[in-house]
């Protein structure tokens, strides 16, 4: 138990403490509210004995006899008043309890969710390479909600059960301790039965939750891949896969429920048996004196108190199963949330960051080697979370890459698919850290710079343009939120995007849809470009910025790019060599090595890979030589 309950204690310590006032108010009012349910049976019992059957004097626990009326009518109306106040007070206390516990539980949930999200934002790219989006979503949504349910309902109900059991035990013992032993004999049985239930249901819950996770992932995959599913005509295959997992969800759910349905009637049977035993022994006692080995007197009023209080015990005890349920869920969720919070981060801010000041834009790669974590493709989430990357595990993607871009220079990277061009861009942005060598900006190792300084100095247009669901203007403004409308339009004009934006139904206020689905690839690309133009960075990183546009648009974008990159340091990745022929330096990458370097003319003169490719793209030769065509089929 100790190991699994730790996450809950830890989360409670970190996030529950600031809300302790709400919790204290909730628990105290809970205790008082459930305390009031004991008042009615006790007052009724004493009233019956004193006013109706005259079996004993009118006495109330904790109230001095001198304060009580002596005439039956006065006693009767006092009892009515007390029961009325107890009922009304109980309702008010319940209301306060509800408000306080909800403020507490939702406050905790809010703090955990926002903190978990902030921590997630700081995690390395390598983490996101491994983790399923569905799984992270599930942690931020379902798991935090499970904790809210636990902190609200389960804590409240624990207090309720505690108060009722202690109160009922006290009241019964006070009324007649011998008969109390009969009634309360059921409590250890109820607790033992619940303990057994928890033990047998736990593995079934675990199996069920695991399958639910699989189902979420499967559905999430099906949704994000809907275009592929439709175009590949694999709807029935996907349906079958979801049906298979859903069936397992059904089976494991029924495994849990079969046991749950057995538990609740079992609890009711035990409490019913206690009620019946109390009724038989108490009834005989009132009727014809103490039965068996019992001794002393039992009045009619005492008997009524026993019957009413025993019933009060039944409800809360049956809630034990819900508490078990909430606890099990919260425990698993707490584990997952703590797991996310504990993922180690490699890309961290330097302890004493170097002052970058005004950026000149000198970018240098000095003998850089790098490989992605080998656990990457095909690794299971268990293998891939929470473990620091060991460079020894990695397959080399870049090997001894060495180049310098002086301020204002353009360095272009060309090479076959998978040669490592985008990896150069990601390393410059410090999405990953190099395994050996250094990358520097204005002479500062990028690891010595504040991440915001480094990334703020670089404008990045990536291969897969991502747009947020929002308006065109919001997407252009993303990162420069204070930019004026005019500045946004100016940037769009410079990116050759203004015209098509004006043609959209709502112009700059048109919504682009999730991931920008309502726009074409070329339109998305130009919006991304406008965003970078608005950002006005000192260094520009273009990863095939003209990849998704037609030749006419490419020409116009190229003109905007020329304006953008004219006096900024630029690292451009391109497959179409025409876009980078004016670069100061062109690097040809092959399997992570730089195999050719120089400007366009020099590389043509060298008559190597670049020259051959250039002639092929310019249409000067009909086909690539076999050696290049086979090796670089996808260039
Ligand atoms: N996140 C990742 N995890 C593991 N391996 C990766 C990851 N990203 C890329 N790789 C691998 O690194 C190698 C270089 O990839 P990179 O994206 O840098 O190539 P590229 O030259 O930009 O290719 P393309 O022209 O197709 O974009 C490839 O073999 C690829 O499979």
Per the rule left: phi > 0, alpha: psi between -120 and 50, beta: everything else, 443 is left
Taking Cα atoms as reference points, which of 544, 548, 626 lies closest to residue 577?
544
Kindly tell me the sign of the dihedral angle through the C-alpha atoms of 112, 113, 116, 117.
Answer: negative
Handedness of CA 151, 157, 158, 159 (dihedral sign): positive
3-class DSSP state of 550 = coil
Length of the chain: 635
pLDDT at 190: 84
Indicate which atom in ligand 1 lies nearest the CA of residue 424.
Answer: 18
CA dist., res. 451 & res. 454, Å (int): 5
Residue 357: pLDDT above 50?
yes
Mean pLDDT, residues 454-468: 85
Q: Provide the CB-side half-sphere exposure for 285 (13 A, CA).
A: 25
Distance 67 CA to ligand 1 centre (A): 87
Between 134 and 292, the more confident residue is: 292
Domains assigned to the chain? 2-341 (1.20.1560.10), 363-457+537-631 (3.40.50.300), 468-528 (no CATH)
CA–centroid distance, residue 377 to ligand 1 (Å) = 11
Q: How does pLDDT run across 295-308, given as a tens digit for each residue?
A: 788 788 788 888 88
| Ligand 1 atom with minimal separation from the 423 CA | 18
- Give the chain's mean pLDDT: 82
Instruction: Check if 133 has its Cβ closer than 6 Å to any atom of ligand 1.
Output: no
Residue nearest to atom 31 of ligand 1 (CA): 418
The average pLDDT across 214-237 equals 85
In the prediction, which pLDDT does 485 show? 92
- List the one residue out of 416, 418, 440 whose CA is nearest residue 430: 440
**What pLDDT was estimated at residue 566?**
76
How many whole angstroms from 138 Cα to the centroid of ligand 1?
28
Q: Is 421 in the pocket of ligand 1 (CB under 6 A)?
A: yes
- Specify the pLDDT at position 387: 44
Is the ipTM reported for this complex over the cut 0.90? yes
Mean pLDDT across 71-91: 85
* Of 128, 393, 394, 422, best ligand 1 pocket probe by most atoms within 8 Å of the beta carbon: 422
Find the mean pLDDT for residues 338-344: 87
**341/1: higher pLDDT:** 341
Q: Which of 129, 384, 399, 420 to mutate to test the pocket of ligand 1 (most atoms within 8 A of CB)?
A: 420
Residue nearest to atom 10 of ligand 1 (CA): 372
Considering only 367-371, 373-377, 549-553, 601-605, which range has the smallest mean pLDDT?
373-377
Residue 374 has a pLDDT of 60
User: DSSP string covering 405-441, please?
Assistant: E-TT-EEEEEESTTSSHHHHHHHHTTSS--SEEEEEE
Using one digit for the tens of pLDDT, what is the confidence trace for 240-285?
999 999 999 999 999 988 888 888 788 888 888 888 888 888 888 8
Q: Report pLDDT for 229.
A: 87
Mean pLDDT across 461-483: 87
User: Model confidence at 626, in pLDDT bands (50, 70, 90)?
Assistant: low
Ligand 1 center–CA 563 separation, angstroms = 29
Task: Tell me: pLDDT of 393 over 60.
Answer: no
Higher pLDDT, 54 or 46: 46
Interstrand relation of 539-543 and 363-372 (parallel, antiparallel or unpaired) = unpaired
Mean pLDDT along residues 498-506: 89
The arithmetic mean of pLDDT across residues 511-528, rounded, is 81
Mutate to test the pocket of ligand 1, among 123, 371, 419, 547 (most ligand atoms within 8 A of CB): 419
**Distant-in-sequence, close-in-space partners of 400: CB < 8 Å, separation ≥ 6:** 367, 368, 369, 437, 593
The alpha carbon of 417 and the centre of ligand 1 are apart by a number of angstroms equal to: 8
- pLDDT score of 479 more than 90: no
The ligand 1 atom nearest the CA atom of 129: 1
CA of residue 23 relative to chain centroid, distance: 24
Strand pairing category for 585-590 and 410-415: parallel
pLDDT over 80 at 540, yes or no: yes
Residue 596 has pLDDT above 60, yes or no: yes
548 C-alpha vs ligand 1 centroid, how far in Å? 19
The CB of 571 under 6 Å from ligand 1? The reply is no
Ligand 1 pocket test, pick from 130, 346, 347, 372 with the greatest ligand atom count within 8 Å of Cβ, gives 372
Is the pTM value of this prediction over 0.90? Answer: no
Q: With 50 as the cut, is the pLDDT of residue 388 above it?
A: no
Whether the pLDDT of residue 621 is over 80: the answer is no
For the chain, percent of residues with pLDDT exceeding 70: 91
Query: What CA–CA distances, in Å, run from 315 to 173, 193, 264?
Result: 20, 16, 11
Bridge partners of 368? 401
CA-closest residue to ligand 1 atom 25: 417
547: confidence class by pLDDT, cuts 50, 70, 90: low
Q: Is the CB of 129 under 6 A from ligand 1?
A: yes
pLDDT of residue 92: 93
351 C-alpha to ligand 1 centroid (Å): 31
- For ligand 1, whether the C-beta of 418 sits within 6 Å is yes
- Which range, 57-61, 67-71, 171-175, has the best average confidence (pLDDT)? 171-175
Which pLDDT value is given to residue 549? 63
Residues of the chain by 3-state class (helix, strand, coil), percent to 5: 65, 10, 25
pLDDT band at 386 (very low <50, low <70, confident <90, very high): very low
Q: How remote is the CA of residue 247 from the centroid of ligand 1, in Å?
A: 38
Between the CA of 469 and the centroid of ligand 1 the distance, in Å, is 27
Whether 397 lines ligand 1, by a CB cut-off of 6 Å, is yes
Mean pLDDT of 488-509: 89
Provide mean pLDDT across the span 9-13: 87
Q: What is the arithmetic mean of pLDDT over 448-466?
A: 87
Please report the pLDDT score of residue 439 as a whole number. 95
Q: Is 376 in the pocket of ligand 1 (CB under 6 A)?
A: yes
Atom of ligand 1 nearest to the CA of 635: 25
Does ligand 1 have an atom closer than 6 angstroms to the CB of 592? no
Interval 171-219: pLDDT, tens: 888 878 888 888 888 888 888 888 888 888 878 877 887 888 788 888 8
pLDDT band with cut points at 50, 70 and 90 for residue 77: confident
Tell me the CA–centroid distance for residue 429 and ligand 1, in Å: 15
Taking 60 as the threshold, does the pLDDT of residue 385 lie above it? no
Question: In angstroms, what is the span from residue 430 Cα to ligand 1's centroid?
Answer: 15
Query: Ligand 1: distance of its center to the CA of 50 in Å?
Result: 89
- Above pLDDT 90, what percent of the chain? 21
Q: Is 420 in the pocket of ligand 1 (CB under 6 A)?
A: yes
Task: Taking residues 394-405, report their average pLDDT.
Answer: 88
The pLDDT value recorded for residue 1 is 36
- Best residue among 421, 542, 594 to mutate for probing ligand 1, ranked by most atoms within 8 Å of CB: 421
* Stretch among 5-9, 229-233, 371-375, 563-567 having the lowest mean pLDDT: 371-375
Whether the per-residue pLDDT at 379 is higher than 80: the answer is no
Report pLDDT for 545.
63
State in Å: Cα 298 to ligand 1 middle: 85
Of 396, 448, 450, 437, nearest in space to 419 by CA: 396
Q: Could you tell me if the CB of 371 is within 6 A of ligand 1?
A: no
């Amino acid at each position: 138990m100790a190991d699994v309950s730790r996450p809950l204690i830890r989360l409670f310590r970190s996030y529950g403490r600031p809300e302790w006032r709400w919790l204290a108010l909730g628990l105290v009012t809970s205790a008082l509210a459930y305390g009031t349910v004991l008042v009615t049976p006790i007052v009724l019992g004493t009233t019956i004995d004193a006013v109706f059957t005259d079996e004993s004097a009118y006495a109330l626990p904790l109230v001095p006899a001198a304060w009580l009326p002596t005439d039956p009518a006065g006693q009767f109306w006092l009892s009515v008043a007390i029961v009325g106040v107890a009922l009304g007070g109980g309702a008010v206390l319940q209301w306060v309890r509800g408000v306080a516990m909800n403020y507490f539980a939702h406050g905790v949930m809010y703090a955990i969710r926002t903190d978990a999200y902030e921590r997630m934002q700081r995690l390395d790219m390598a983490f996101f390479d491994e983790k399923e989006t569905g799984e992270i979503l599930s942690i931020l949504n379902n798991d935090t909600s499970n904790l809210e349910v636990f902190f609200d309902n389960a804590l409240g109900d624990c207090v309720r059960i505690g108060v009722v059991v202690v109160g009922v035990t006290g009241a019964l013992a006070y009324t007649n301790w011998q008969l109390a032993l009969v009634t309360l004999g059921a409590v250890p049985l109820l607790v033992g039965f619940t303990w057994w239930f928890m033990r047998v249901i736990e593995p079934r819950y675990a199996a069920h939750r695991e399958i639910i996770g699989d189902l979420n992932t499967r559905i999430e995959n099906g949704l994000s891949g809907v275009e592929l599913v439709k175009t590949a005509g694999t709807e029935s295959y996907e349906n079958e896969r979801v049906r298979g997992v859903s069936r397992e969800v059904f089976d494991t759910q029924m495994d849990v429920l079969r046991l749950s349905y057995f538990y609740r009637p079992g609890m009711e049977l035990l409490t019913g048996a206690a009620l019946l035993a109390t009724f038989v022994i108490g009834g005989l006692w009132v009727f014809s004196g103490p039965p068996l080995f019992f001794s002393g007197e039992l009045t009619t009023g005492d008997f009524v108190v026993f019957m009413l209080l025993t019933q009060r015990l039944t409800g809360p005890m049956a809630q034990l199963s819900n508490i078990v349920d909430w606890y099990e869920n919260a425990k698993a969720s707490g584990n997952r949330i703590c797991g996310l919070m504990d993922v180690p981060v490699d890309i961290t801010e330097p302890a004493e960051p170097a002052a970058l000041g005004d950026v000149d834009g000198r970018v240098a790669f000095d003998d850089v080697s790098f490989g992605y974590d080998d656990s990457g493709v095909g690794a299971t989430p268990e293998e891939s979370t929470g473990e620091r990357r060991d460079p020894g595990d990695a397959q080399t993607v870049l090997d001894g890459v060495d180049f310098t871009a002086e301020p204002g220079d353009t360095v272009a990277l060309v090479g076959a698919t998978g040669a490592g061009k985008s990896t150069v861009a990601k390393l410059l942005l410090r999405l990953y850290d190099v395994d050996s060598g250094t990358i520097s900006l204005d002479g500062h190792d990028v690891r010595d710079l504040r991440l915001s300084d480094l990334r703020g100095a670089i404008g990045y247009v990536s291969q897969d343009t991502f747009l947020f669901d929002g308006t065109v203007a919001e997407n252009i403004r993303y990162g420069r939120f204070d930019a004026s409308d005019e500045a946004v339009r100016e940037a769009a004009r410079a990116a050759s995007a203004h015209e098509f934006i004006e043609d959209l139904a709502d112009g700059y206020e048109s919504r682009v849809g999730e991931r920008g689905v309502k726009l074409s690839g070329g339109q998305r690309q130009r919006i991304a470009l406008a965003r970078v133009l608005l950002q006005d960075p000192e260094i520009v990183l273009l990863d095939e910025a003209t990849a998704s546009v037609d030749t006419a648009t490419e020409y116009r974008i190229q003109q905007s790019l020329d304006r953008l990159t004219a006096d900024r340091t630029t690292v451009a990745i391109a497959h179409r060599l025409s876009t980078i022929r004016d670069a100061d330096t062109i690097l040809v990458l092959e399997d992570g090595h730089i195999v050719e370097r120089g400007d366009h003319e020099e590389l043509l003169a060298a008559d190597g890979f670049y020259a051959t490719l250039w002639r092929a793209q310019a249409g000067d030769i009909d086909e690539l030589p076999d050696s290049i065509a086979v090796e670089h089929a996808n260039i």
